[in-house]
Structure 1
Amino acid sequence: MAGIVVVFDFDKTIIDVDSDNWVIDELGFTDLFNQLLPTMPWNSVMDRMMKELHSHGKTIEDIAEVLKRIPIHLQVVSAIKAAYALGCELRIVSDANMFFIETILKHLGLKDYFSEINTNPGFVDEEGRLRISPYHDFTQSSHGCSLCPPNMCKGLVIERIQASISKEESKKIIYLGDGAGDYCPSLKLTESDYVMPRKNFPVWDLISRNPLLIKAEINEWSDGAELERVLLQIIERISREEINSNSAQLFSADCKLQTISIASHEALPQALSVTQ
Structure 2
Amino acid sequence: MRRCFEGVGLQCFLKDRAMAVTQDQKYLLIFDFDETIVNENSDESILQAAPGKQLPESIRSTYREGFYNEYMQRVLQYMCDQGVKMADFKAAYERIPLSPGMGDLFQLLFKQQDHFEIILISDANMFGIECALKAAGAYPLFRKIFSNPSSFDKRGYFTLGPYHSHNCKRCPANMCKHKILTEYLAERAQEGARFDRVFYVGDGANDFCPSTALKSSDVAFPRKGYPMHQLIQETGKSQPGTYQATVVPWDSAVEISRHLQEVLKKKC
TM range (shorter): 0.7 to 0.9
Q: How does 1:98-177 map to 2 (within 5 A)?
A: 98-136=126-164, 138=165, 143-166=166-189, 167-177=192-202
* Runs (5+) with no aligned partner, structure 2: 1-22
1:55 is displaced (CA, Å) by: 1.2
Which residue pairs with 1:220 in the alignment? 249
CA gap of 1:233–1:76, structure 2 versus 1, over 3 A, is: same
Letter in 1 for 2:262: R
Q: Of residues 37, 42, 56 in structure 2, which corresponds to 1:14?
A: 37
Which residue pairs with 2:117 in the alignment? 89
Which residue pairs with 1:77 in the alignment? 103
CA gap of 1:40–1:91, structure 2 versus 1, over 3 A, is: closer
1:210 maps onto 2:238 in alignment: no
* C-alpha distance in 2 between matches for 1:164 and 1:217: 24
CA gap of 1:169–1:125, structure 2 versus 1, over 3 A, is: same
SS in 1 for 2:155: coil
Which residue pairs with 2:27 in the alignment? 4
SS in 2 for 1:161: helix
* Runs (5+) with no aligned partner, structure 1: 244-276
Matched length: 234
SS in 2 for 1:15: coil
Which residue pairs with 2:54 in the alignment? 29
Q: Cα deviations across residues 171-228 of structure 1 (Å, max 9, x unaligned)?
A: 3111000000001101011122110001111111100012332211100012xxx322
Question: Where in structure 1 do 4 or more consecutive aligned residues deviate above 6 Å?
Answer: none
Q: Cα deviations across residues 120-156 of structure 1 (Å, max 9, x unaligned)?
A: 01111111111110001x4xxxx11011101000001
Say if 1:84 and 1:90, in contact at 8 Å, map to a contact too: no
1:39 is displaced (CA, Å) by: 8.6
TM-score (norm 2): 0.81
Letter in 1 for 2:266: E
Say if 1:81 and 1:113, in contact at 8 Å, map to a contact too: no
Q: Of residues 35, 52, 62 in structure 1, which corresponds to 2:88?
A: 62
- Higher CA-based Rg: 1
